[in-house]
Structure 1
Amino acid sequence: MADEALAALRHAADQAIDAATLGDALAALAAQPSPYGRERATAQRVADWAATRWPELTWRVDPLAHTATTPDSANLVGGSDPGDGPELLIYSHLDTSLTGGVDFDAPITGRHTPAPALDLPGPDGDIVSGFGLGVARAAAAAALVGYAAAAEACRAAGRPHRLTLLLAATGTHRHDPDAGPDDGVAPAPTTGGVLHHLRDRPLPAAAIVAKTSPPGILTAEPGAMFLRVRLSSGFHPALFRDTATPPGGLLTHLGVIIEALEEFRRVHLARRADPDAQVGAELGIGAVRAGQPGKPDLLPGAVDLHLYLTTVPGDDPAQITDALRATLVRRLRDTPLAGCGLAVAAHPVHPSAATAPDAPICRHAQDAWLAAHGRPAAALRGWTGSTDGVVLRGRGVPTVRLGPPALPPDPADPRRERYALPELVRFARLYAEIALRHQQASTG
C-alpha cells in the first residue's frame, strides 16, 4: 500500500512539473540583479510569482539584519501545511557569484558590458542560457518547482507533510578584504541567510542542497577559508625606485611571492591527496591589491594577495596559517623581499562536514536518482566545491547536495551560462521525488 501511495504522489508531482513552469521560475529569478547582500527585491518578485502560481502554499520574504554587507538582504521561505513529521528543508540561494554590475564584475570577467539577459528556448529548442544560472538560478528554479509540486501533491492527497523551501540570501562566499587582524585567525562569520533561517527555530530533520554539481550525490563537502598575505615596505616615489626596499619596489618582485605560494599549494595538496575521499582541498590566488591606479608615480608600500582555500576533515586553520607563514619566511629569506614586512591572516568560513552515507536522506536521494536516471549515482571523488551544506551538516542536519549539470558556456561570452531545460525538469522531479520519499518514510 505504501508503494501505491508513493506512486500516486509521484505521478501527481511529475504532472505538475514542466518546462514552461521552469522557464517562468527562471524568469522571476533572473528578472533583475541579485548580488550578495541585496537579494530582497528578487525574493519579493519570486514570492509574488509563486503566490500566484501556488496560492495554497505560503511564501514569505524574511529580511536579514541590515548591515554594511547586507543593506537590503532577505531570504525567501516557502512553506506547506505543517504536519507532525520530521521537516525536510530544500535549500538553494538567491545571490549570484558575479553581481551583474560592471564595477564589481569587470576585474573578474574582463568585460565591461552589461550582463547577458536570460534567453529561454523557443518551441523547438531546449537550451536556456543567461547570467547567474550556474550560481545558482538554474538549480534554485528546479528546487522551487520541485518543492511546490511535492507539497501540492501531498496537500491534495491529504497526506501530512513538513516541507520547507529556503532560497537564502548571502549564499555565496564573500570576504571583506580589510577585515580582521594583520596576523592571526579571525572568528568565523555569524551572519548569513541560512544561519538567519536556522536561528530560533527547530532544526530540520534533513536537507537537500540544490546547486549545480558533479553527476552524482554529495554526502560531504569541504570547508572554506580566506587567507591574506601582506608584504609591506616604506614609502618610495617611482622617481627613486633604485633606492627603494626592495629595489624597484614591491611589484617588481611579485613573481617571487607567487612562486612561493605555488610551492605551498603543491605541498599542501599533496599532503591531503586521498583518491578515496569524496572531498578534496584546493587553493587559489584570487586577487592582488597594491597602490593607487591614479597615482602610479608612487610605489605601493603594501601588497595584499588574497587566497581562497577549501579544507578537508582534520584541517586546522591556525596550523595552515602557520605552515604558510613558515613557507614564505623560508622562501623569501634570500630574496630582495627579505627586508619587507610579512603578515598572514586567516579568516575561516566554515569547516568541512559530512553526512553518514547510510542516513535516510542519502538513501532517499540514491533511490530517487535511480528512478530518474535509470542507473545508480556514480561515486564522486575529490570534490572541491563548498556550500552552506556544511553549515547544515555542522549543526547535525543530515544533508545531500545534488543539482543539474551545466553545459559549456557560450564561447562568445562565458558569462552566458547554458543548461538543457529537460535536465532542469528532470532535477525538479528528482527533488520532488526525494521529498516524497522522505514524507512517506516519516509518516508511513
Structure 2
Amino acid sequence: MRQHLLDTLHQLDRVAAPRGKERVAAHRLRAWCADRWPHIDWQVLEHGPEGGSLIATHGAGPLLYSHLDTSLDPGDPANAQVTGSTAPVAPLDADGDDITGFGLGVARGPAAAALVAFAGAASGRLLLAGSGTHRRDSAVTGVEAYLDAHPPPRSALVAKSGPPTLLWHEPGALYLTVRVTGRSGAAMAPASATPPGGVLAHAGTVLDELDRWRTAYLAADPREGQTGRACGIGAIGGGRPDKPDLLPAALRIDLYVVAGDPVEPAVLASGLADRLRTRCADTPLRDCAIDVRAEPVAAAAATPADAPVVTAARAAWQDEFGAPPPPLTGWTGSTDGVVLRARGVDTVRLGPQPRPADGDPRRDTLSLARLAAYARIYRRLLDEVP
C-alpha cells in the first residue's frame, strides 16, 4: 500500500489541477489508473468549460469522496498575493515516513488514500471531484455534477484532511462583501474626494468595527454538535494600482464566515451594515454609502451520530488506532460533506493531519504511515457499509 500511495501521489503532483481546470489532470489520472488497475472501469466526468472528475464503481456500497483540485495554482503569479512568494514550488519528495509536496493537505494526500483504498476494495463508488474547494462563482461543482448524473448513494465517506477524529457534523459557510462608497478625487487635491483624502485613507475605521463585530459574532457561538463559528477578512480592495494618483470612490472588503448553528445570511449582512453605518456616522465616512451583501456557500448539516456509516467508522477507527475517535467540539472546516448531506446522504469525514513544510509553507508534509492507516479504514468501510 505504501508504494501504491507514493506512486499515486507522484502522479497527482505531475499535473496542476487548479479549481475548475482539472480536466487535463483527470484524463491523465484516468489513463494512469487504467494501466495500473485494468480490472476497474475508470471514467472522467466533465463539467463546466474545463472541469473534470475521476469516477469509478464497484457496484453497491458507499461513495468514497475526495477532490482533485488544489486551493491554488502553483504556476499562477497572482497567488503571490496570498502566499507571499513567486518562487517555483519544489516537486513532491519523500524522506523516511515524511512526504512533502504542494497541495497534499487540500487534497492530494487524502485523494491518493481514497484512490488506493478503492482500487483494493470490492464494493462502493469513487469520486475524485473537480471544483471541491470553496471559491466565489456560480459554476457547478464536481460533486453536484456527479449527483445530478447518478443516483445518490445511501452513505458517503469524505476523505479530506481534518482533525484527528471522525466528523459527522460540519458547519456551513458564506461570503460577506462590505462596500463603502464615497466620491472619487485626485491625490494632488485630497479635498476633492469624499471623504477628504479618499475612502481608503479611512479604511481603518471600517476594519476596526469589523473586528468588533467579529468578536461579538464568535462570542455568540452556541457550539452546536461538533461545530463552531469562524470569521476572517480575506481580501481588501480599492482603486487601481497602475493609477494611484486617483483616489477611488469605493472600498471593498470580503469576509469568509463559518457557522455551525443556523444562520440567516441576509439577516447577518443587514445587521452588520447597520452596525457599520452607526460607527461611521460620527467619522469622515458619514457621507458614504455602506452596503453589505451575503453570498451563501452552504448551510450547516449533520448526520445522525448513530447512522450506520458513523457506527462503522467508529469501529474501524478503534481497530486501526487502538482507541475510540476523540470527542470534538468547535470544528470550523466546511467541505462538500454539507452538499452530500443536503441531498440526503449520510456522511462521515476523516483524513490525515498535514503540517506546513519546513522552508516553504506552500507545501505540506504528511506521514505516509498515517496516510496508509486512513486508506485501510476507507477500504474497510467501502466493503462493510451499505
The 8 Å contact of residues 21 and 51 in structure 2, kept in 1 or not, is answered as yes
> What is aligned with 1:365?
313
Alpha-carbon distance in 1 for matches of 2:357, 2:326 = 27
Alpha-carbon distance in 2 for matches of 1:65, 1:411 = 37
Matched, 1:24 2:7: yes
1:47 to 18, 30, 47: 30
1:164-192 per-position Cα deviation (integer Å, ceiling 9, x unaligned): 1000010001115xxxxxxxxxxxx5711
2:246 to 286, 289, 298: 298
Deviation at 1:312, TM superposition (A): 2.1
Alpha-carbon distance in 2 for matches of 1:116, 1:254 = 38
Q: Specify whether residues 200 and 60 from structure 1 end up closer, same or farther in structure 2 by C-alpha distance, changes over 3 A only.
A: closer
> What is aligned with 1:105?
79
Matched, 1:416 2:371: no
> What is aligned with 1:167?
128
Alpha-carbon distance in 2 for matches of 1:213, 1:126 = 20
Alpha-carbon distance in 1 for matches of 2:184, 2:195 = 11
Structure 2: gaps (5+ residues): none
The 8 Å contact of residues 102 and 113 in structure 1, kept in 2 or not, is answered as no
The 8 Å contact of residues 260 and 332 in structure 2, kept in 1 or not, is answered as no
Matched, 1:431 2:378: yes
The 8 Å contact of residues 28 and 42 in structure 1, kept in 2 or not, is answered as no
2:143 to 194, 218, 233: 194
SS in 2 for 1:305: strand
1:216 to 138, 156, 165: 165
The 8 Å contact of residues 20 and 48 in structure 2, kept in 1 or not, is answered as no
SS in 1 for 2:91: coil
SS in 1 for 2:234: strand
> What is aligned with 2:119?
148
- Summarize the alignment of residues 305-344 of structure 1 with structure 2, pairs less than 5 Å apart: 305-344=253-292
Alpha-carbon distance in 2 for matches of 1:77, 1:341 = 49
The 8 Å contact of residues 102 and 114 in structure 1, kept in 2 or not, is answered as no
The 8 Å contact of residues 91 and 209 in structure 1, kept in 2 or not, is answered as yes
Alpha-carbon distance in 1 for matches of 2:210, 2:358 = 31
Question: What RMSD over aligned residues (CA atoms) do the two structures have, in Å?
Answer: 1.3
Alpha-carbon distance in 2 for matches of 1:197, 1:174 = 18
> What is aligned with 1:114?
88
Deviation at 1:421, TM superposition (A): 0.8
Q: Specify whether residues 112 and 65 from structure 1 end up closer, same or farther in structure 2 by C-alpha distance, changes over 3 A only.
A: closer
> What is aligned with 1:96?
70
Scaled by the length of structure 1, what TM-score is found?
A: 0.85
The 8 Å contact of residues 184 and 192 in structure 2, kept in 1 or not, is answered as no
Deviation at 1:348, TM superposition (A): 0.3
Q: How many residues align?
A: 386
Alpha-carbon distance in 1 for matches of 2:236, 2:202 = 13
SS in 1 for 2:227: coil
Name the stretch that deviates more: 163-172 or 334-343: 334-343
> What is aligned with 1:269?
218
Deviation at 1:386, TM superposition (A): 0.4
SS in 2 for 1:256: helix
The 8 Å contact of residues 217 and 366 in structure 1, kept in 2 or not, is answered as yes
2:328 to 359, 376, 380: 380
Alpha-carbon distance in 1 for matches of 2:188, 2:208 = 28
The 8 Å contact of residues 217 and 377 in structure 1, kept in 2 or not, is answered as yes
Deviation at 1:104, TM superposition (A): 2.7
SS in 1 for 2:242: coil
Alpha-carbon distance in 2 for matches of 1:58, 1:432 = 18
> What is aligned with 1:78?
56
Alpha-carbon distance in 2 for matches of 1:273, 1:413 = 37
Runs of 4+ in 1 over 3 A off after TM superposition: none
Alpha-carbon distance in 2 for matches of 1:143, 1:104 = 31
1:358-386 per-position Cα deviation (integer Å, ceiling 9, x unaligned): 00000010000001100000011101000
Scaled by the length of structure 2, what TM-score is found?
A: 0.97
The 8 Å contact of residues 12 and 29 in structure 2, kept in 1 or not, is answered as yes
**Aligned residue type for 2:42:** W
Deviation at 1:208, TM superposition (A): 0.4
Deviation at 1:245, TM superposition (A): 1.3
The 8 Å contact of residues 100 and 114 in structure 1, kept in 2 or not, is answered as yes
Alpha-carbon distance in 1 for matches of 2:269, 2:75 = 33
> What is aligned with 2:179?
230
Deviation at 1:27, TM superposition (A): 1.0
Alpha-carbon distance in 2 for matches of 1:315, 1:127 = 40
Alpha-carbon distance in 2 for matches of 1:425, 1:104 = 35
2:108 to 137, 144, 155: 137
Deviation at 1:65, TM superposition (A): 2.9
1:213-254 per-position Cα deviation (integer Å, ceiling 9, x unaligned): 101000010011111101111120101113421121111111
> What is aligned with 1:36?
19
Deviation at 1:436, TM superposition (A): 2.0
Alpha-carbon distance in 1 for matches of 2:21, 2:202 = 39
Alpha-carbon distance in 2 for matches of 1:250, 1:142 = 50
Deviation at 1:112, TM superposition (A): 1.0
Name the stretch that deviates more: 112-121 or 318-327: 112-121
